[in-house]
Amino acid sequence: MMNETIYLEKFKLLTGMAMLLQSCDKEEELFDVIFLYLPKLFPDVYGEIFLQDTLEKEIHSAFVWGKLTKEMPMPDFEHCRAFACGVVVNTSENRAIPCEKCRRGECCIPFCDGSHAFGILCLSGATARIRAGYRGLAFVTAEYLALAIVNLRLKKRLHELTLKDPLTGLFNRRHMDETVPREIIRAKRAGASLGAIMVDLDYFKDVNDSFGHDAGDEVLKKVGHFLKSAFRVEDLVCRFGGEEFFILMTSGEAKDYCARARKLREGIKGLDISWEGRQISPVTASLGVVVFPDNGKTFEELLHRADQALYLAKAQGRDRVILGDNEA
């Protein structure tokens, strides 16, 4: 057990860590806090934190302190009792060897969100084995960390819901309305151009009428996924509404934007889309391309000209790209 002086010292550290964890706005900031506190809370101990990614659901080593006596492979989380069952594994109480599946520590404490484990705190070393007080400290530390991570991930998810279209995962109209004017101001200052593409799926109503609205949603999902994969991180890809999409591109000229629009049209047409065993594809799209500042100096002007170009593409037979008022 810890003596009173050590206990008070650890309690102060734990309280300080908890206060800083509450002030974190991002998960990355949380690791700055634990980098400062965990080695002080658990000196002369090997410790490792494993976390499950929220999107890919893959588990990775997120933070390590102390030294392992030898290189160890990633634990078998599928059979790890701490992760799979969400229970504390304390092998030192029954004098067992470190967890056969984890092999990282004598004391493994899951991070839980309800009944679901999304990470583990693993400790090993003489201190973790001998002093029961350190195991209690580890349990409280894991509770603080789990609560902070859950709150940060929930906050991030709620923020994303205000910016993302839930069906396609693309940015929504609200985010577009906030972001594009800022990009135009930035481009004006830099003397740079911007390219915008308005995309409309041809005969989309026929898909809904012939296959049902669930099939229509599947088309939107597939097209949305393709659009997201076809553009760079610095480009803005949004669902404008219904079967319309809007893309804002940086660093290029009119010919570059048109070339990307043509590839986009061909890529959408080449998607393999089916619903309940029935083939829906090929799906075609009409695209209107405009350039800042040539076709408009404000967001409203660009949007209006892109809509006009899209209308021309529809009027001229669909499945084509129009730049401003001319076929690209």
Domain with residue 230: its CATH number is: 3.30.70.270
Name 114's Cβ contacts closer than 8 Å, sequence gap at least 6: none
Prediction pTM value: 0.64
How many folded domains does the chain comprise?
A: 2
3-state class percentages of the chain: helix first, strand second, coil last, to nearest 5? 45, 20, 30
Place of tokens 């890919």: 56
Active site members: 243
Q: In this structure, are strands 285-292 and 321-323 parallel, antiparallel, or unpaired?
A: parallel
**First-residue to last-residue Cα distance in the chain:** 77
CB 227 within 8 A of CB 283: no
Quote the CA–CA distance of 283 and 291 in Å, as a whole number. Answer: 26
The answer to whether residues 221 and 153 belong to one domain is no
Domain with residue 152: its CATH number is: 3.30.450.40
Q: What is the model's pLDDT at position 55?
A: 72
Convert the pLDDT of each residue in 7-59 to its tens digit.
788 889 999 999 999 999 988 899 999 999 999 998 878 889 999 988 778 88
| Percent share of the chain, pLDDT over 90 | 64
Domain region containing 56: 4-160
User: Which among 127, 160, 193 is the end of a domain?
Assistant: 160
Q: What is the model's pLDDT at position 93?
A: 54
Q: What is the model's pLDDT at position 91?
A: 59
Name 9's Cβ contacts closer than 8 Å, sequence gap at least 6: none
Mean pLDDT of 206-235: 95
pLDDT value at 317 more than 70: yes
In a domain, 257, yes or no: yes
Quote the CA–CA distance of 267 and 260 in Å, as a whole number. Answer: 10
Q: Which residues on adjacent β-strands are paired with residue 124? A: 46
Mean pLDDT of 233-259: 94
Convert the pLDDT of each residue in 259-298 to its tens digit.
999 999 999 999 999 999 999 999 999 999 999 999 999 9
Name 233's Cβ contacts closer than 8 Å, sequence gap at least 6: none
Q: What is the model's pLDDT at position 303?
A: 95
Q: What is the model's pLDDT at position 100?
A: 57
Q: What is the model's pLDDT at position 128?
A: 46
pLDDT value at 75 more than 70: yes
User: Which among 109, 136, 160 is the end of a domain?
Assistant: 160
For residue 43, is the peptide bond before it cis, meaning its omega torsion is within 30 degrees of 0?
A: no
Range in 104-108, 152-156, 162-166 with the lowest mean pLDDT: 104-108
The answer to whether residues 156 and 180 belong to one domain is no
Mean pLDDT of 247-251: 93
The answer to whether residues 150 and 202 belong to one domain is no
The answer to whether residues 58 and 105 belong to one domain is yes
Tokens, residue 113: 């969100």
Mean pLDDT of 136-140: 87
**Kind plus residue range of the DSSP H or E element containing 326:** strand 326-327
Q: Which residues on adjacent β-strands are paired with residue 288? A: 198, 322
